[in-house]
Amino acid sequence: MKVIGLFSGCGGMDLGFIKAGAEVVWANDIDSDAVNTYKRNIGEHIVCKDIYDVDVNEVPNNADIIVGGFPCLGFTVAKGKSRNINDKVNFLYKEYIRILESKLTKYFVIENVMGMKSGKDFNNFFENMIKEFEAVGKDSETTNFKGYKVKHSVLKASDYGVPQNRKRVIVYGVRGDIEDEPNFPNATHMDKTKDKSLECGLHYKTLKDAISDLPLEFDESIPNHIGNTHKVKINAYVGNRQLDWDKPSPTITGRGSRTGGAVIHPHPNLHRRLTVREVARIQTFGDDFIFEGSKGAQYAHIGNAVPPIMAFHIAKEFKKVIDKEEVKFNSKDWDLPWLK
């Protein structure tokens, strides 16, 4: 299974696919710090370039699937009333389409925030965007298929063993001449307070599972276990709410990577905010994954990423249809203490 990664950031989606046995043949992002992180931890195949400047001829032709989540700053509900349907960032999906039209891969995957579908204007936007993806290749004189079959679902990260209640819209595209269609992954974990049977497998992972073994103070002997010194103030606003040791974290955000800095949740003990390493663990980046750039950049890159374990569960569904291979989750492949 060969993959092209668009808007790859520090590599959360790509890493999940690699862990499922995929080869990422080419990737792209505009953020130099994120690209440096990607190169350090994943590989040199990523190109640091504005997507508008990417020539389709520099993108390989041998991929089976394109994956990526274009920036979502115009959609995110964290912006509240300042969300803007006309934000130019909202139309970066057209660059994804430009690459897809050139490569006509068998499959594609898109990840984005729930806010893309919420609100009347935004719901119409989402429906129109889906229609544009469905039409890719439809009018081509060189293809024997009529566009892409597109479906979408909302997945919650905690359902897949991620210690975080992060919900995201996931879109699958299947080229019209391809019969094998991937499923959305079944949940592997459940909330023990709501389902005593645990028919799907395991309890949700909690903040206690994820970070309770880390030192309470900043410790530079642990990679990226440093953080924001902004005062903890508990109120009703995002980034200032009490976290519960015995529950998954609320969504780790990357909001503000272009407008004022990421929002960092308080540590459950309330003596400081979460460190870069703690939010990385909550996103399921292993302790061997080292982040580059300023602390603010590191927080933003992590918050903007797809949790790699969630990406793995998406990837294994494509592994079934592309390589006809069942992939099992192996805790030994992830440098995360609660999986040991």
Question: Would you please indicate which residues are annotated as catalytic (active-site) residues?
Answer: 72
Q: DSSP letter for 111, please.
A: E
Beta-carbon contacts of 228 under 8 Å, excluding residues fewer than 6 positions away, are 264, 273, 295, 299
**What are 47's two structure tokens?**
């190109």
**What are 158's two structure tokens?**
């905690």
Alpha carbon distance 112, 133 (integer Å)? 15
H or E element at residue 88: none
Backbone phi, psi, residue 153, to 5°: -155, 165
Beta-carbon contacts of 55 under 8 Å, excluding residues fewer than 6 positions away, are none
Mind giving me the DSSP string for 21-52?
T-EEEEEEES-HHHHHHHHHHT-TTEEES-GG
C-alpha torsion angle, residues 114, 161, 33, 49 (rounded to 10) = -60
Match 């949940």 to its residue by tokens: 187
Beta bridge partners of 189: 202
Alpha carbon distance 104, 147 (integer Å)? 10
Q: Do 150 and 173 contact (CB within 8 A), yes or no?
A: yes
Number of helical (H) and strand (E) elements in the chain, helices listed first = 8, 9
Nearest to 282 by CA among 297, 264, 256: 264
- For CA atoms 100, 16, 171, 119, give the dihedral sign: negative
- For CA atoms 16, 17, 20, 25, give the dihedral sign: negative
Question: How many C-alpha atoms does 225 have within 13 Å on its Cβ side?
Answer: 16
